[in-house]
Homo-oligomer: A and B are copies of this chain.
Amino acid sequence: MKSYKEMSKEELLALKADLENAYLDAKGKGLKLDMSRGKPGLSQLDVSMPMLDVINSSSDMKTQLGNDTRNYGDLDGIGECRRLMAAMMSVKKDNVLICGNSSLNIMYDTVSRSMMKGVNGSTPWCKLDKVKFLCPVPGYDRHFKITEYFGIEMVNIPLYDDGPDMDMVEEYVNNDPTVKGIWCVPMYSNPTGISYSDEVVRRFANLQPAAADFRIFWDNAYCVHHLYEDRQDKILNILEECEKAGNPNMVYIFASTSKVTFSGSGVSAVASSLENIEFIMSQMTVQTIGHDKINQLRHARYFKDINGMTEHMKKHANLMRPKFQAVLQVFERGLSGLEIGTWTNPNGGYFISFDAMEGCAKAIVAKCKEAGVVLTGAGATFPYGLDPKDSNIRIAPSFPTPEEMAAAAELFVLCVKLVSIEKLLEKC
């Protein structure tokens, strides 16, 4: 197809008239689709329904060690669930704490604890004049909301195909003592779907932070969320690499089963060095008497071990793949060669990331919404909701059916074309 950038004003105007008619037709179809969040689809949730039979009124409610999951105790989580989550996170059981239903909540608590009490004895961050976090962009809006809430200054770091710009990360972390953290989604990153290369992970582990209380917030949300059998990413074990590099306390790893079993009714976990775990426990023991151990037991008995979880996630992949492929096919057919947008084709995770021409993202999202398709707000993938290029759009294909997804993608393509033409005409 001919690139829009090579078209004359007349060609663009003619095309625009056609596309406007097509848009009016599309609006008439009364689409009503929400792709704003990475919500699991119904068929995906159905996959986990048998888990709800695992614990019933005649179940033995004791852990393998004989503790009653119905009563207080086991603040750090029951052994079998710690083992399961440890395997999911590729760490040892003793390095894992099981928490409530939300890994985001653990991240929030971790930042909150650092603000109020410092990190393993450092000055509480709230007592400092300035605290900065590095934010690889585009990234996860919920991470940015946490740091924004606590008044932490966020610094954009470009995210490439193999991870964040490590020259820039090293420059900041190794020289600026106000830099206390970095948000990372190292595998099937939200939203671009890329995974960090071994080289990038090693450079992370070998940082020489100017601040002793600098921490890497390693949100391994999609560690078991492959889309393909034969195209799977694998990342290096950051905890081991940090140990090797003499930085054993530098990383917190977060994960949950929110997108494995049920969103909101899964279990979450944090993994870190024993010293960090002990510090977290010293706060957690004030915060709560314990987390939901019956749900921990339910998860541990349902999956049995990591192999059970791997098999389970293959069923998810079979449901997710057609949705991703529906989008990719429509994009390929409708947009390739036009030079008005690029998009990712990830091996896993929950998102396709689309980069429109500069200054077009907000308008595309608005145009989609007008015709009944709600996308994540443009800018959401950047700190403070500010995409400096107004270019990135996160597409979440998980909730609609493949057919709905194809219809939504068609509309999206139409909107990208229309908005891009308008932008190009401005320059004519």
Contact = CB atoms under 8 A, between A and B. Distances in A.
B288 A40 contact: no
Contacts of A105: 287-288
B53 A263 contact: no
B295 A292 contact: yes
Which of A51, A69, A112, A264 lies at the interface centre, i.e. has the most chain B CB atoms within 10 A of its CB? A264
A72 interface: yes
Contacts of A108: 286-288
A359 interface: no
A59 interface: yes
A190 to B, nearest CB: 13
A221 to B, nearest CB: 12
Which of A142, A263, A265, A283 lies at the interface centre, i.e. has the most chain B CB atoms within 10 A of its CB? A265
A197 to B, nearest CB: 30
Contact of A104 (B49, B149, B287): B287
Number of identical protomers:
2
Interface in A235-274: 258, 262-265
Contact of A292 (B142, B264, B286): B264
A42 B45 CA distance: 34
Nearest to A115: B116
A50 B59 CA distance: 11
Contact of A116 (B150, B265, B293): B150
Interface of A: 37, 39-40, 42, 45, 48-53, 55-57, 59, 61, 68-72, 100-102, 104-105, 108, 112, 115-117, 126, 142, 145-146, 149-150, 258, 262-265, 283, 286-295
